[in-house]
Amino acid sequence: MKQTYSCAADAQEALCRFLKNYRNKFYPLKGQVIKAAEKVKRDKPGRPACNEEPSYRVIYRLNLQVEDLDEGTYWQERQRLSCFVLVSNIFDDYTGYDLLKEYKQQTMVENRFKFVKQSIKYDRV
């Protein structure tokens, strides 16, 4: 938004490129090109005369806004990422919940027998 453009076409092209490159499905971006006047720096050194009028040039800037969170897209993506796939060959009276519970309890067994998996360290006498 700090960058300036000398013509509206360049600013519009930069806006389209920015919106394309930084597209976000959760927080939509909006933007517009704003025309402004910028004071031109004097060519002469020293203090300007009291009757000297400052000169201005037309510039174009981008004004970008981040919209609010798109709740529908957020919840769809959350549902998609919340899926837990667990494949098993156990079919005997296990519901999906029971199977997941059994799987999660395996970490307790793994942690208790961690010492078995470690390499043996011998103390030399």
pLDDT at 120: 66
Exposure of 23 in the CB half-sphere (CA atoms within 13 A) = 5
Tokens of 42: 């004097």
pTM: 0.56
* Domain range list for the chain: 8-73, 84-116
Residue 1 has a pLDDT of: 76
Query: What pLDDT, on a 0 to 100 scale, did the predictor assign at position 64?
Result: 94
Q: What does the pLDDT read at residue 97?
A: 83
Confidence band of 29 (pLDDT split at 50, 70, 90): very high
- CA 124 to centroid of chain Cα atoms: 56
Task: Select the more confidently predicted residue: 47 or 120.
Answer: 47
Gap between the Cα atoms of 26 and 24, Å rounded? 6
Contact status, residue 29 vs residue 41, Cβ threshold 8 Å: no
